[in-house]
Amino acid sequence: MLRQGGPFAVLLADLDGFKSLNDTRGHAAGDDALRAMAALLRSSSPTGGRAFRIGGDEFALIFECAGEADAERVGWELRSQAPERIGSTLSVGLAIAQTGESDEAMVARADAALYEVKRRGRDGVLVAPAA
């Protein structure tokens, strides 16, 4: 179960153009970008937040928040720092916990928001609508 304290959010983020980076600059450059993303998540995570690499170039951050605006601020902060810190833009999807919602449903909403950002052209942040 994801829930431990008060209201919280799940943030999913993909490095835009990661496959191209690996293909053109090599896997060492890709590994550097992944390490830089992990460092960015650690430094930008609200107190008590937990960051995870899900696989490939996808990362998750679970954190307590005061609501949608607070969670969205974290997403935009990550996205704004990414080009300088990682050398890539980010696509970010967020979901805010809803009363009675399963962890799986919440993660699915964040994932749907992430893929909507990608569909719109990447390099953005979107909060999933409530279930």
Is 57 annotated as catalytic?
yes
Helix 27-44 vs helix 68-86: crossing angle, to nearest 10:
140
Task: State how far the Cα of 45 lies from the Cα of 60, in Å rounded to an integer.
Answer: 11
Beta bridge partners of 53: 59
Task: State how far the Cα of 10 lies from the Cα of 96, in Å rounded to an integer.
Answer: 7
Number of H helices and E strands in the chain, helices first, is 4, 5
For residues 9 and 75, the answer to whether their CB atoms sit within 8 Å is: no
**Amino acid at residue number 82:** A
Select which of 57, 103, 111, 123 is catalytic.
57
Q: Which residues are catalytic?
A: 57
